[in-house]
């Protein structure tokens, strides 16, 4: 695909991987819109990359998603790419009644339902564009082998991986290309609970994922598994139960 002169909406583009992709795609000559819930983070992002357009939006809320679609298509009618990137991760313990499952933030709404609904909103608009368009879903290596401490997160990413494959098949003969980028562990705010427990923060820089996303679009490489996430994808084919056990032991430091 062409990776310049696109108009791109990146959900959750104010920090981490979303911001790195926003910066990379602006540098490559694209117009980039980002959204998020915290105005302070959107303003910080705009200070770092002044060309960005920003919008406050909670994508976990259905009517806010619809409003985001209306705003985007009326203010930026040339929009031709949607990056479903916004995500949250929670440690949820089903032994203690799953606290956090239904508090103020829902992983199912943010990571999965919003990506599906925003795709449903934007795809009919993209199908009418007279140029190539893209839906880019950010999944995770944990879509392939789950980590038990974040069970709902892993389920949402496995679900998004599955949805992405079906969507790609449905749109195969159209102008809308469907990409999946599955990062390994990346140094971002996502792991705030582990950080709060003073676990050292591991992971690759967000800029590495952003570069991989740009390359994937350029080469029409529809499924891009970044770095060590490849090990998890391979493992899920060979011996999923064994690697699930091993991953959880490694994560627990045993």
Catalytic residue among 69, 102, 125, 153: 153
User: Among 14-22, 95-103, 118-126, 162-170, which window interacts with ligand NAP (CB under 6 A)?
Assistant: 14-22
Q: Is 150 helix (H, G, I), strand (E, B) or coil?
A: coil
Q: Choose between 6 and 54: whose C-beta lies nearer to ligand NAP.
A: 54
Which of 52-60, 125-133, 166-174, 217-225 is the region at the interface with ligand NAP (rule: CB under 6 A)? Answer: 52-60
CB of 130 to ligand NAP, least distance (A): 30
Q: How far apart are CA 71 and CA 84, in angstroms?
A: 17
CB of 86 to ligand NAP, least distance (A): 4
Question: Residue 60's closest CA among 107, 121, 19, 8?
Answer: 107
Q: Burial of 117 by CB count in 10 Å (0-12 exposed, 13-18 middle, 19+ buried)?
A: middle
Is 153 known to be catalytic?
yes
Please tell me whether residue 18 binds ligand NAP under the rule CB under 6 A.
Answer: yes
Tokens 């499924």 — which residue? 223
Residues near 75 by beta carbon (within 8 Å), at least 6 away in sequence: 53
Site string (116-145) toward ligand NAP, x via CB under 6 A: ----------------------x-x-----
3-class SS of residue 246: helix
Segment near ligand NAP (CB under 6 A); pick from 47-55, 82-90, 172-180, 193-201: 82-90
Reported as type and span, the H/E element at residue 200 is none
| Residue 195 makes contact with ligand NAP by CB under 6 A | no
Which residues of the chain form contacts with ligand NAP (CB under 6 A)?
Answer: 11-12, 14-18, 35-38, 41, 57-60, 85-88, 110, 138, 140, 183, 185-186, 188-190, 203
Q: Give catalytic residues, as residue numbers.
A: 153
């Amino acid at each position: 695909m062409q990776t310049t002169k696109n108009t791109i909406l990146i959900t959750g583009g104010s920090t981490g991987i979303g911001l790195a992709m926003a910066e990379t795609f602006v540098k490559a000559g694209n117009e980039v819109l980002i959204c998020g819930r915290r105005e302070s983070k959107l303003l910080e992002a705009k200070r770092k990359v002044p060309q960005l357009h920003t919008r406050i939006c909670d994508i976990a809320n259905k009517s806010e998603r619809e409003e985001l679609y209306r705003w985007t298509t009326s203010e930026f009618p040339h929009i031709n790419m949607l990056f479903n990137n916004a995500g949250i991760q929670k440690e949820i313990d089903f032994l203690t009644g799953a606290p956090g499952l239904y508090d103020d933030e829902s992983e199912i709404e943010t990571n999965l339902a919003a990506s599906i609904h925003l795709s449903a909103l934007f795809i009919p608009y993209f199908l009418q564009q007279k140029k190539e368009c893209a839906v880019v879903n950010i999944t995770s290596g944990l879509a392939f082998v789950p980590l038990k401490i974040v069970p709902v997160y892993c389920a949402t990413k496995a679900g998004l991986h599955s949805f992405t494959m079906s969507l790609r098949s449905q749109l195969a003969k159209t102008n809308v290309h469907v990409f999946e980028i599955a990062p390994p562990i990346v140094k971002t705010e996502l792991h705030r609970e582990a950080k709060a427990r003073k676990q050292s923060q591991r992971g690759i820089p967000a800029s590495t994922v952003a570069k991989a996303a740009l390359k994937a679009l350029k080469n029409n490489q529809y499924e891009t598994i970044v770095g060590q996430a490849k090990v998890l994808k391979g493992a899920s084919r060979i011996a999923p139960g064994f690697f699930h056990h091993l991953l959880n032991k490694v994560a627990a430091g045993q």
